[in-house]
Amino acid sequence: MSKKVTLKQCLGIDVSMKKIDCCLSFYTEDLKIKVVATSGYENNPDGFVKLREWLNRKQDNSLALHVNMEATTPTMKKPPIFLPGSVTG
């Protein structure tokens, strides 16, 4: 059985005042979304370091990482700034 080609990867982040919940998923060549991993971290600098370490272990470094997150509160600004290559606005 051959390995399915991953077309795109996405990190979804749900942000609250004290916690960030994350879901990494791959979009495969058969047009399906595969959840690779989920995890949660504290919404502080130590939690951001743990998120980056988790992401380094789980993501496919040959693909761009698309990050999606809610934009409803001021608490959402710090996690994307911490991720390399991210754009905030």
Nearest CA to 33 out of 2, 57, 1, 66 is that of 66
Residue 16 is predicted with a pLDDT of: 84
pLDDT of 87 = 46
Strands 65-69 and 19-28: unpaired
Query: What pTM, to 2 d.p., does this model score?
Result: 0.77
Res 75: pLDDT: 54
Domains identified in the chain and CATH numbers: 6-70 (3.30.420.40)
- C-alpha–C-alpha distance, residues 72 and 55, integer Å: 24
pLDDT averaged over consecutive 10-residue blocks of the chain (89 residues)? 82 88 94 95 91 92 87 58 53
Instruction: Give the list of residues 6+ apart from residue 16 with CB closer than 8 angstroms, or none.
Output: 43, 75
Look at residue 15 in the predicted model and tell me its pLDDT: 85
∠ CA 10-11-14, nearest 5°, is 140
Give the contacts of 20 (CB within 8 A, at least 6 positions apart): 13, 14, 40, 41, 42, 43, 47, 51, 79
